[in-house]
Structure 1
Amino acid sequence: MRTELNSVENALITEAAAADYLGISIRTIQAWRVRGGGPNYVKMGKSVRYRPSDIQAWIESHLASSTSEVEARS
């Protein structure tokens, strides 16, 4: 069985693309990396990349149906 390395699921995107997808600034996603709490990322030398699957998993983990759910997580 051959692994397809060029599949969309395995694609790595830049921090700028990840921030744009999330609708936040690059500075915010950088701060999340320092403090923790943001999506998982890949560090390659000086470069930072994100897997779309990790961003989606992070989004799913932050779903809420009421403000009391969000307050309980804090």
Structure 2
Amino acid sequence: MSSAVTARLWTVEDVSTYLGVPVETLYTWRKRRYGPPAARVGKYLRYDPDAVRAWFLNQTTA
């Protein structure tokens, strides 16, 4: 298996900690189609850590 397949996806709480924003902010951003991309897995949101980092870097250079 590749490392991308075996890498753990981040939860909303993980992203909240990484970005230093409240969990509710992430849900608000998602409703407004803003913020790092997330995928729904059942009833849960999951984030690719690389995509979150790329989104963050794009925000700091914009």
Normalising TM by the smaller chain, what interval? Answer: 0.7 to 0.9
Kindly indicate whether residue 20 of structure 2 is the aligned counterpart of residue 23 of structure 1: yes
Give the drift of 1:3. Answer: 3.1
Give the drift of 1:52. Answer: 0.5
Give the drift of 1:42. Answer: 1.1
Q: 2:40 is paired with a residue of what secondary structure?
A: strand
Instruction: Find 1:35's aligned residue among 32, 35, 38.
Output: 32
Specify the structure having the higher radius of gyration (Cα): 1
- Per the normalisation by structure 1, the TM-score is 0.73
Paired residues in the alignment total 61
Q: Which runs of 5+ in 2 are unaligned?
A: none
Give the drift of 1:36. Answer: 1.2
CA distance, structure 2, for counterparts of residue 33 and residue 14 of structure 1? 14
Over aligned residue pairs, what C-alpha RMSD do you find?
1.6
Q: Which runs of 4 or more aligned residues in structure 1 lie more than 6 Å from their structure 2 counterparts after TM superposition? A: none
- Partner residue of 1:61? 58
- Per the normalisation by structure 2, the TM-score is 0.85
Q: 2:24 is paired with a residue of what secondary structure?
A: helix
